[in-house]
């Protein structure tokens, strides 16, 4: 169906204007604000504060570290699940159950999911009860509002994204390549290592990128799991906008976070491209 120029311009133009007004312009405003102060002057003082105070560096560092840990952990946990789903190709019913179990948490708010962990990690929660029963510990551990709780919560929230990204690549992989390797005498493990794993790299890349960017801006999970202390950048941004009412400093923190995220992603993709021979 050919669409004439006039209709094409309207059908694409309106959505485009919408994006420019409510997405591009707001981002521009955040950037402009980050260079402004209450008096409306152009200034670098927000950046002087954000970049000059070790506290902000610590928070940014922790944010990046948390995102990295989440990435690695979801990859380790998510890959076997995604791989398993590609193995049960014929068992449609089992596969459907897998999908339901993966999508259920994804379709539930982060808050509800974190709430589940509050119960599990609580003083009388399932984890403590289990550990006490087995006899590993003699009195309940303090698990809530700890580093461990934040990491468990983050991994939990991000895992479905990683599984889906890898699964979609593994599913679309040409099965005859694996069969050929097996027919030529490779063991299942060698086939996995030499054929499946290298071919699934695009899925790993997509998954780690999604998980990393989502983790970096994650607000709800760290806030609930940490018991409310400011530990990640998004909380500082929230505090500046909604509690301290200093959108200028808040914008500067947001821009620093955005630029860091952008630089890391570009570096990551560049390194991968260099490693991957041109196809």
Partner 1 sequence: MTRLFAKLRDRIGTLAVSLIAWLVLIYLVLPLAVVIAISFTTTEYLAFPPVGFTLRWYQRFLADPSYVASILLSAKLAFASTVLGFLLGVPAALVLKRASFKGIRFISNLFLSPLILPAIIIGVGVLQITDALGFARSFPAMLVGHVVIILPYIVRTTLASLDGFDMSLEEAAQDLGASGFATFFYVTLPMIKPGIIAGCLFGLIMSWIDVEVSIFNTVIAESPIPVKVFNYVQYSVDPMIAAVSAGTIYIAFILVFLLDRLVGLDKVTGQK
Which positions from 211 through 240 interact with partner 1, judged by CB under 8 A? 213, 216-217, 219-220, 223-224, 228, 234, 237-238
CA angle 247, 222, 82 (to 5 degrees): 125
Q: Is residue 269 part of the contact set for partner 1 (CB under 8 A)?
A: no
Q: Does 29 bind partner 1 (CB under 8 A)?
A: yes
Question: Hey, which residues between 129 and 148 contact partner 1 (CB under 8 A)?
Answer: none
Q: How far apart are CA 193 and CA 27, in angstroms?
A: 43
Question: In the set 33, 150, 154, 249, which binds partner 1 (CB under 8 A)?
Answer: 33
Shortest Å distance, C-beta 140 to partner 1: 14
Q: Is 1 in the site for partner 1 (CB under 8 A)?
A: yes
Query: Binders of partner 1 among 174-203, rule CB under 8 A?
Result: 187-189
CB of 17 to partner 1, least distance (A): 10
User: How far is residue 233's CA from residue 251's CA, in Å, rounded to a whole number?
Assistant: 11
* Cβ-based neighbour number of residue 25 at 10 Å: 11
Q: Which of residues 107-126 bind partner 1 (CB under 8 A)?
A: 107-120, 122, 124-126
Task: Give 8's contacts (C-beta < 8 A, 6+ positions apart).
Answer: none
CB 45 → partner 1: shortest distance, Å?
19
* Helix, strand or coil, per DSSP, at residue 42: strand
Window 46 to 105, contacts with partner 1 (CB under 8 A): 77-78, 80-81, 83-85, 87, 95-96, 98-105
Q: Name the minimum Å distance from CB 96 to partner 1.
A: 6
Buried b (16+ CB within 10 A) or exposed e, 240-272: bbeeeebbbbbbbbbbbbbeebeebeeeeeeee
Segment interacting with partner 1, rule: CB under 8 A, options 41-49, 132-140, 256-264, 269-277: 256-264
Q: Determine phi and psi for 278, rounding to 5 degrees.
A: -60, 135
């Amino acid at each position: 169906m050919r669409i004439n120029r006039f209709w094409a311009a309207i059908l694409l133009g309106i959505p485009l204007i919408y994006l420019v007004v409510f997405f591009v312009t707001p981002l521009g405003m955040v950037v402009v604000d980050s260079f402004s102060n209450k008096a409306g002057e152009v200034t670098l003082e927000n950046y002087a504060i954000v970049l000059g105070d070790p506290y902000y560096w610590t928070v940014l560092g922790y944010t990046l570290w948390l995102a990295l840990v989440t990435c690695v952990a979801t990859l380790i946990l998510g890959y076997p699940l995604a791989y398993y789903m590609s193995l049960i190709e014929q068992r449609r019913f089992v596969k459907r159950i897998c999908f339901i179990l993966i999508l259920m948490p994804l379709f539930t708010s982060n808050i509800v999911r974190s709430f589940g962990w509050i119960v599990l990690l609580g003083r009388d929660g399932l984890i403590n009860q289990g550990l006490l029963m087995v006899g590993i510990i003699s009195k309940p551990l303090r698990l809530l509002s700890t580093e461990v709780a934040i990491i468990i919560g983050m991994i939990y929230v991000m895992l479905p994204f990683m599984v889906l990204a890898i699964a979609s690549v593994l599913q679309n992989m040409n099965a005859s390549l694996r069969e050929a390797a097996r027919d030529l005498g490779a063991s299942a493990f060698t086939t996995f290592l030499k054929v499946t794993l290298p071919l699934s790299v695009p899925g790993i890349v997509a998954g780690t990128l999604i998980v990393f960017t989502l983790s970096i801006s994650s607000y709800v999970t760290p806030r609930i799991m940490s018991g409310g202390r400011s530990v990640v950048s998004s909380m500082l941004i929230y505090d500046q906008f909604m509690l301290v009412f200093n959108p200028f400093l808040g914008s500067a923190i947001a821009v620093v976070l955005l630029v860091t995220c952008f630089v890391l992603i570009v570096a990551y993709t560049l390194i991968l491209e260099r490693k991957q021979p041109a196809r």
